[in-house]
A and B are shown apart, each in its own frame.
Chain A
């Protein structure tokens, strides 16, 4: 299957690698890592940098080019990027614990914010667990465009893998909220040979609750596509039958009288 950013929403290893400066620059101190790979009309990073470290755009659709020698890792651009595509990495931090850790400064727009000293879960670009990380600093002030910056310390070997945090381990990923099905339940049925929504529906009641499959079916189609190696477009969409949305019987009963009053064209 196509593993490009356009298909998965996750940059490829080559793209991530291209965003990092050479090792010699990383050894010199904090530097911004800009993971902005698609041409879109957006330039606040270039206009906000007070040190000219992001080369001014010739065309507003340009993707940013960073002059590593001008960047001092001040984090101002992190708060300006609407896509939260920028982080700052510092491999020269003097780790008080004496471990071989680097600092990663990440934009984090959720509440509650973590506190300094908290242990959080560090995730990769796909959101999957990588390691546990210590929160070293949490910054938010009026000049930060409502974008808090959370600084975490992670092993240097994981510096290129970690790109996010969340605050507590999720015990289970619910797929079907109506009929109590977890991702693990569905994965087991797919591993057992199920290849379509309709098969899963007959066994599990997936898609037959009051939400009418609006939540579970897209998720499960994605799971089927990934497991079977087939694009979603080639999978059976499954059978849909009315009513698409739950309707009170009273509303249907009122339909005739409303039509009598308003005429056919009105309702």
Chain B
């Protein structure tokens, strides 16, 4: 990802109402209608999960359409939520997912 909010080469952004949610216990500002991963990206968060291989490499926003499974997070206690296609809600509790996540 090489662009930050408001500086996309082509698109203009129309934002929803401001809301807040928590990421690993920290309160994060967001806008209604944004996917969780987008709100976190705008807040400067680049690591959403870790790979499943032995190296546990950091994984972040990649395909952004729910295909690549790099952005799976624990959302309101439910693991393996694809944060790039799940819209953020006011008061949501989002956590980094390490390893495969509990069922």
Contact = CB atoms under 8 A, between A and B. Distances in A.
Nearest to A212: B69
A165 to B, nearest CB: 13
B25 interface: no
B2 A178 contact: no
Interface in A199-228: 205, 209-212, 214-215
B57 interface: yes
B51 A210 contact: no
Contacts of A205: 53
Given A178-B51, A178-B70, 4 more contacts: A110-B2, A176-B53, A179-B52, A180-B55
B2 A211 contact: no
A211 B69 contact: yes
Contacts of A180: 51, 53-55, 57
14 contacts: A110-B2, A110-B9, A111-B4, A112-B2, A177-B51, A177-B62, A177-B70, A180-B53, A181-B53, A205-B53, A210-B69, A210-B80, A211-B68, A214-B67
A109 interface: yes
B72 A210 contact: yes
Interface of A: 109-112, 146, 148, 176-181, 205, 209-212, 214-215, 246, 248-249
Bin the interface of chain B by size: 20 to 34
Given A177-B51, A211-B67, A211-B68, A246 B80 contact: yes
Contacts of B72: 210
B63 interface: yes
Nearest to B4: A111
A246 B69 CA distance: 9
Interface in B53-103: 53-55, 57, 59, 62-63, 67-70, 72, 78, 80, 103
A148 B7 CA distance: 13
Contacts of A110: 2-3, 9
B51 A179 contact: yes
Question: Which of B3, B55, B62, B68 is the most central at the interface, judged by chain A CB atoms within 10 Å of its CB?
Answer: B68
Nearest to A205: B53
* Dominant secondary structure at the A interface: loop
Those 3 A-B pairs whose CB atoms lie nearest each other, nearest first: A180-B53, A210-B69, A211-B69
B17 interface: no
* Dominant secondary structure at the B interface: loop
Nearest to A166: B2
Contacts of A249: 103
Given A112-B2, A178-B69, A215-B63, A209 B52 contact: yes
Nearest to A148: B9
A178 B9 contact: no
B97 to A, nearest CB: 11
A111 B3 contact: yes
B2 A179 contact: no
Contacts of B78: 248
B26 interface: no
